[in-house]
Amino acid sequence: MPDYALTIEVRTHPVGATVVVLAGELDYHTAPRLHRAVERTAEALPLVLDLARLSFCDSLGVAELLFAFRRTQGAGTALALVAPTPDVGRLLAMTGVDRLLPCHDTVDAAVSALHRP
């Protein structure tokens, strides 16, 4: 599978969170790239994964979302998801991940929720 099947953009939100924007397919071939991207994020900042342009996710992709969750929990911060597509949302619901990871409509809403006491 070509590298361009998943694009990953990492940026820092002005309020203080790391935002990782995913576009394309998160699967067996591309999940290691998300793993490395999450490992490189600042542990002290909350993490937001923007899934609005993620067209596909398999079980290894879900495992990487859970890795990101465990990493933030271990660092004493938090993780939020943004706007999963209907197909990805169904997978998160089938696996129960939707009950574990909060979802928000926008990056700003996710960042705001992560900074509430």
pTM > 0.75: yes
Kindly tell me if the per-residue pLDDT of 53 is higher than 90. yes
Confidence bin at 115 (pLDDT 50/70/90): confident
Tell me the two tokens of residue 83. 């706007």
Residue 84, CB-side half-sphere exposure with 13 Å CA sphere: 21
Torsion sign over Cα 88, 90, 92, 95: negative
Kindly tell me if the per-residue pLDDT of 106 is higher than 80. yes
Tell me the two tokens of residue 38. 């999450």
Distances (CA, A) of 112 to 52, 65, 78: 18, 20, 12
- Average pLDDT of the residues in 60-74: 97
Q: At what angle do helices 86-95 and 59-75 cross, to 10 degrees?
A: 70
Confidence bin at 1 (pLDDT 50/70/90): very low
